[in-house]
Amino acid sequence: MVTNKTQGERVEVALSRLHLDPQNPRHKPIEDEAKIIAQLFKSERVMSMARDIAKKGGISPLETMGAIELEDNPGHYVVLEGNRRTAALKVLKDPKKAPTSAARTALEVLGATLPVKFSIVVFKDRESARQWLELRHLGQQDGVGTRPWDTTQKARFAKGASPDNLAVAILDRAEAGGWIDSGIRAKIPVTTLTRYLSNPVVRAAMGLGHRGELLFTHDPDEVDVALKRFVLDAAPRRDPDDLPPVNSRSDQRARVAYAGSLQADGVSPRTLLPSPVTPPPAAPTSPPKKRGPRHPSDRPTVIPSDFIVTHPNKPLRRLVDELRRAKPDENFEYAANYLLRAVLECVMVLFAKKRGVYQPKMADNLLVKVCMEKLEADGCTQGQLKNMRIAHSSKDHATSLDTLGAAVHAAHLPTRKGLIAVWDNWEEAVKLMLDRL
């Protein structure tokens, strides 16, 4: 039905006749539709939208897509408003159009059933659509544009909503930040997370300010460290008999104890904000690891609080947890030194056994050598293995296992900054080995 020239014509169109806009302001000009989808996946969280569309059985009836007809292809339309929705619909209909294998697998599992046609508003040209796009995307504009709800209004609306909303929002953030992939996410029980998040003590320990909405009470970077720990603690272990720290068998006492462990491990955020805030989008994880505002040598523990091991080997996880809690400046220099050496040796022994090169009572220097050779064979670069090679090159070097062993026998006095420097030099090699276990 045609309303008037400025408001366009509402028509029903098959998805195959809708095309993404090469001039979409969300990205630089891109002509190839596959590249547009890849960019929208990368920066605009299209996977989350696709998952939501599949769950709800369609796109929101409160939002209409706007388009213009292609001059050289009548009956086909370029979408000016609703490119994220269109991209999500396209990959739901044909998962092969998704840019990564993980996304394709996740979309296939969703198995969404989509309508045959979609209602759109067709404008004469871009200029005719411009005034409506401005209202939609250029802010409040003294009240004539879209006016978002404030925190209180959002909280009012959230009353009576699904109790899983906060858990889902955290998982969305974890996937967007690269803390987990879609495969791991599918294995984390949302209801288990909700049981923990329903406890105000647990929420406070992670810097969360609302039961049903993602509001941060502390510095977002610090809260993300706690949330990452929480999500990874809920991920299933390789051994099905090995319960993750966050599990469905816990009672209220166990959940409060878990909150206490976050605080004891230095994972809980510390920088309180004047009032709760909606967090910025999670920054995708990328090497090298992003440091917090604190200089590495100023942290109170040898390893950073966000270094988490999910390998099923219980002794390794226990060693890492104890090293994460040990504070050298509180008269635990030797304990931290011993734990650091034990963690490094445990990781290398597990890696060497995995590659079939471990020998009982293997000398420290030989253990480092065989692990380094296997990493080189895997294609790890000289730069990635530089510090490991230095530790292997001399038994007297500060980062060598021999030097750490000498401290255990009181041959020299370890210090917090010295132990932190040793860990920082070994950390990349440790991660490379853990990734291959």
Do 141 and 26 fall into the same domain?
yes
In a domain, 297, yes or no: no
Give the pLDDT of residue 144. Answer: 78
- Say which range, 33-42, 158-167, 215-224, has the weakest mean pLDDT: 158-167
Tens of pLDDT, residues 291-332? 445 566 678 888 887 787 877 888 898 888 888 888 888 778
Which one of 219, 254, 277 terminates a domain? 277
In a domain, 227, yes or no: yes
pLDDT at 126 over 90: yes
Over range 173-192, report the average pLDDT.
90
The residues facing 9 across adjacent strands are 2, 122
Do 264 and 318 fall into the same domain?
no
pLDDT band at 241 (very low <50, low <70, confident <90, very high): confident
pLDDT band at 22 (very low <50, low <70, confident <90, very high): very high
Do 123 and 171 fall into the same domain?
no
pLDDT at 348 over 70: yes
Do 264 and 339 fall into the same domain?
no
Over range 124-146, report the average pLDDT.
85
pLDDT at 282 over 90: no
Phi-psi region of 414 (alpha: psi -120 to 50; beta: other; left: phi over 0): beta
Over range 125-149, report the average pLDDT.
84
Tens of pLDDT, residues 73-121? 999 999 999 999 999 999 999 999 999 998 999 899 888 888 889 999 9
Over range 47-57, report the average pLDDT.
91
Give the pLDDT of residue 146. Answer: 78
Do 136 and 159 fall into the same domain?
no
Classify strands 77-81 and 117-123 as parallel, antiparallel or unpaired. unpaired
Do 384 and 262 fall into the same domain?
no
Cα–Cα distances in Å, from 200 out to 168, 194, 204, 256, 374? 17, 12, 6, 9, 47
Tens of pLDDT, residues 381-432? 988 898 898 888 888 788 888 888 887 666 567 888 888 889 999 999 999 9
In a domain, 210, yes or no: yes
pLDDT at 154 over 70: no
What percentage of residues in the chain have a pLDDT greater than 70? 91
Full residue range of the structural domain in which residue 120 is found = 2-147
Looking at per-residue pLDDT, the higher value among 349 and 242 belongs to 349
Do 396 and 371 fall into the same domain?
yes
Cα–Cα distances in Å, from 297 out to 301, 302, 408, 419? 9, 9, 22, 9
Which one of 261, 277, 293 terminates a domain? 277
Do 203 and 123 fall into the same domain?
no
pLDDT at 268 over 60: yes
Counted domains in the chain: 3
Do 6 and 143 fall into the same domain?
yes
Do 120 and 192 fall into the same domain?
no
Over range 127-145, report the average pLDDT.
85
Give the pLDDT of residue 3. Answer: 47
Give the pLDDT of residue 98. Answer: 94
Which one of 117, 147, 177 terminates a domain? 147
Do 49 and 6 fall into the same domain?
yes
Do 139 and 198 fall into the same domain?
no
pLDDT at 5 over 60: no
- Residue labelled with tokens 């993404």: 20
In a domain, 427, yes or no: yes
**Three-state secondary-structure class, residue 11:** strand
In a domain, 109, yes or no: yes
The one-character DSSP state at 283 is P
In a domain, 47, yes or no: yes
Cα–Cα distances in Å, from 191 out to 24, 109, 168, 183, 252? 38, 20, 10, 17, 14
Looking at per-residue pLDDT, the higher value among 361 and 407 belongs to 361
pLDDT at 248 over 60: yes
- The CATH number of residue 72's host domain is 3.90.1530.10
Give the chain's mean pLDDT: 87
In a domain, 183, yes or no: yes
